[in-house]
Amino acid sequence: MNLWVDNLWTPPFGWAWAQTSSGAIDALCFGMVERLSLGYGLGGMDTTRPVIRWMRENRIWPREIHVHSANSAGAEWLTGMIDRYRD
């Protein structure tokens, strides 16, 4: 399964869409996500930081992870955490 996490940009064809961090975590719980693409801000105070933290704590890392965020500071944080903690 391909999972696109963003509240504004629509996913490419064939990708499931999570618009909140809790929705993304729910999808990841099944262990079926092979490709993950993350925006950063998800509206209000929600970001994809909880998604990264959940993956780190549960040691669940999709085979491919991409960051498509336009927020450069957010993208840097996501990329740094992925590089640091991914198994």
pTM higher than 0.85:
yes
pLDDT tens across the length of the chain (87 residues)? 999 999 999 999 999 999 999 999 999 999 999 999 999 999 999 999 999 999 999 999 999 999 999 999 999 999 999 999 997
Please work out, in degrees rounded to the nearest 5, the angle formed at the alpha carbon of residue 39 by the alpha carbons of 42 and 45: 25
